[in-house]
Structure formats: C-alpha cells, structure tokens
Structure 1
C-alpha cells in the first residue's frame, strides 16, 4: 500500500534531487516514487521564510513514522543544505545555498 506525507519548511535552495539522494543514502528501504509541490505549483513557496513545501509519495506506509522523525530533527536540515552544496560543487553549479528562517522541517501525515 502506498502513502504520502507533506513536508514543509524545506530550504528553497535544497532541490528535489538532493531530497531523493538523502532518502537513498539515509533511509535505506524508503522508496520515494514521486515528489510534487504542495499544495500546488503556485502556492508551495514561502518567500518570507525562504522555504517550500512538497508532497512525497512513498511506495509503502511502514516508513512514514521514520520519515517524520528524521525530517523533523533539526540536524536533518543542515545535512540537506550540506548535501546541496556538495551536489552543486560536483556539477560546477553556482550554489546560493543559505539557511532558511526556520529551525526545522515539519511533516504532516494523513
């Protein structure tokens, strides 16, 4: 059975590719099938706090609690920012990776 979670307060500079890489490296067995802006492509960015929200569609439902616990940890946001810097550097992209105005991400489950 598949499931989905909404993740808010993702730093704007952290790409979907970095999110997928984070799940692949950190949460073995957690398969993200699709990522989309939440609630929609027009309203998912919070310019004031420099964050965005996405909905993650997962292959199973057993990893939801693990995802919530991991993503809501304050250290995870810093890990994602560092991963984005490394990814940008490895592809020789100009990286404007800055910390958002919030301390941590939040996860909402159904």
Structure 2
C-alpha cells in the first residue's frame, strides 16, 4: 500500500488521475488485491469525476465480498440513482451481495 500511495500521489501531481484507465487500475488493486485496502479504494473512488462502468463494478464487487455486503447494494442503488446504467457484469456482484445479507440467512 505504501508504494501504491506513492503512485497515487505521482498520478495527482502529473494530472494522470484523470486518466480513467490508470485510475481504474489503481482502484482495482486497492479494492480487490489482498495487499490492498478497501477504505482507501472507497476514498479514491469518491474523488474520481465520472467513474466508468469498470470502476463501479470493481467497487461493487469488492463490497459484495466484504463483511458488510449491504454496502454493495447501497452502491448499486446510488449508481442507479445518478442514472448510470448497470452492465451484464454488475448483476452477479449485486446478486452475491444479496445472497450474503444476514437478514436473508
């Protein structure tokens, strides 16, 4: 994570943080890697202007695999609320979160 934070800082300084491909790779590592840190991924996601479908799906996937899958569903609802359409890749992650809800067990 220390090296990732250095890369993130360099991206901010060089204005590469607006490059959706580079930002999505950074987000993916933070959210999905065992060496990543999900709270940092959430902060990063919240700073990205107009996140793309891959970014939304990455964060929903990470939240669905987390101990609190309610957050994945909440993120999906927020995505829909702002008018962003889900893709065919979104639904498996949302369904996984629904299946993991404690209230259904």
Whichever structure has more strand as a proportion of its residues is 1
**What is the TM-score with the length of structure 2 in the denominator?**
0.29
**What is the TM-score with the length of structure 1 in the denominator?**
0.28
Whichever structure has more helix as a proportion of its residues is 2
**Greater Rg, structure 1 or structure 2?**
2
